[in-house]
Amino acid sequence: MQAPSTDLDELVSAAPGGQEQHLHLLSEPLSALRWRDPVAVSPSASVREAAQLMQERQVSSVLVVEQGRLFGLVTDRDLRNRVVAAGLDTSRPVMDIATLAPLTLDERRPAIEALMLMARHNVHHLPLTDGERVTGLVTARDLTERHGTSAVYLVGEVCKQPDLEGLVRVSRRLPELQRHLAAADASAHATGHLITAVTDAFTTRLIQLAEARLGPPPVDYAWVAAGSQARCEQTAKTDQDNCLVLDDTYDEARHGAYFEALARFVCDGLNACGYVHCPGEMMAMTPAWRQPWSRWRQYFHQWIDEPEPKALMLTCVFFDLRLVHGQAALLNSLRRDMLERTRGNGIFLAYMVGNALAHRPPRGLFGGISPIRSGEHRGAIDLKHTGIVPIVDLARIYALAGALEEVNTQDRLQRAADSGEISADGVRDLRQTLEFLAVLRIRHQARQMTQGQPPDNFLVVDSLSNFERSQLKDAFGVVHTLQSVLEQRFQAGRF
């Protein structure tokens, strides 16, 4: 299964002060990280032959390859779990224990993509390819030893924990991860994906622990992330937004107690791990957000057909959805139905534009920066609500107008350009602006955590250099311009 590629070149942070070895993590192609050629056996080899070859070459995995094409992957964990523990005859073909069609990545992609893929899927061995030909193998150890990053192993630690107490202990290492990524000058795009991958791991493990306690679910369900977790844009300062989509065979009288207990266990567990309860109660433990598929369909239809203020607020959370655990078909069919209803829906989109334009960048006279004038955060700007959120809102409108299934903001912007919802120049400017603002936010929070302070989104303008202020002024100008373009489009009725 070939992993999807994304263009991270323009997302690499070029700010000074980064450590050279960590910048390589972002820019080096994977082919440059290979320390040895991959060890391979043919599909006709036996399990014993594969194990002997791994011992001779002192490697933790072997690829199953024939004529340069990859058929499978066998790791030392497979030998332990699928052979020794299962008492399997070692004369059996190695294909009997191999992971078939493993995740792969093109060797020309940056190393950071390998790290993101490993963290997302909790794998530690990643075959590299050039077209259909397998060319190498990179392991989590290669990346961690060379670059000191810990996201993959942090996910692995989460998956090993037998109880909530263990998860809480692991969660205390999360601030260290963001500080490390900030010190490495990792892009905001990569940082968001890696931190969100850890959040997904905590969520999935809590669901597994809940099912172990409660028994198997009585009907199919999808545990769905909303908000920044759904968009893979989380940082250290975050609460939880999630919901449950239940199969339509769900019956409240027979099944309600089970799913209430599951949702409460997971949401309370996330809260204990630092993902605090949503202040607006947009969580699966809230009955309104734990509903069958048909009820969710009614929700979306009502929000789209009657876009009053509360509905618009809910759309900004629940139109950004991504499956974390369970039956993908439940969410996929719901998303397709919702997007078909928003495509070209001028009235609804006009309301969405009006709602989005309520979040304006803090610009003063002559396009200068206008910080908060009084109160606790006097002299600061809110990087999230007056910088990042306006771009997220723009990308969401483009996605809803064009019925685009992407959820991540960078991905939505790129697809919006491909579909004609926004010009290529506009997309380039917005993507670079989003990256700049998000990196400022991540570094600001990392500094606060290093100083023992709780992270927030309020950056004091006077703490910036003249160069940074100039960039910030230009960034707010880009957002203002694209908001004005959308406003003119709305006024002209062009949806």
Structure tokens at 348: 């609804």
C-alpha distances out from residue 196 to 13, 168, 355, Å = 19, 17, 27
- C-beta of residue 156 within 8 angstroms of C-beta of residue 120: no
DSSP letter string over 159-208?
HH--SHHHHHHHHTTHHHHHHHHHHTT--HHHHHHHHHHHHHHHHHHHHH
Between strands 125-130 and 61-66, the pairing is unpaired
**What share of residues in the chain are helix, strand, coil (percent, to 5)?**
55, 15, 30
3-state SS assignment for residue 139:
strand
| DSSP designation for 388 | I
Q: Residues with Cβ < 8 Å from 95, sequence gap 6 or more?
A: 43, 64, 71, 72
Which residues, listed in sequence order, are joined to residue 225 by a DSSP beta bridge?
Answer: 242, 322
Residue of 65, 47, 44, 64 whose CA lies nearest to 55: 47
pLDDT at 117: 83
The whole model's pTM is what? 0.76
CA distance 342 to 230: 19
C-alpha distances out from residue 121 to 193, 194, 201, Å = 12, 11, 9
- C-beta of residue 379 within 8 angstroms of C-beta of residue 370: no
pLDDT at 114: 81
Element (H, E) at 266: helix 252-272
Between strands 61-66 and 40-41, the pairing is parallel
pLDDT at 489: 78
Angle at 244 between CA 238 and CA 246, to 5 degrees: 170
Q: How far is CA 377 from the centre of its chain?
A: 30
Name residue, tokens 């734990």: 290
**Helix 151-160 vs helix 174-183: crossing angle, to nearest 10:** 170
pLDDT at 146: 54
- C-beta of residue 53 within 8 angstroms of C-beta of residue 475: no
CA distance 198 to 160: 13
Which one-letter amino acid corresponds to residue 224?
V
Regions of the chain with pLDDT less than 50? 1-26, 147-149
Between strands 105-106 and 125-130, the pairing is parallel
The b/e string for 429-465 (b: 16+ C-beta within 10 A; e otherwise) is bbbebbbbbbbbbbbbbbebbeeeeebbbbbebeebe
CA distance 367 to 443: 25
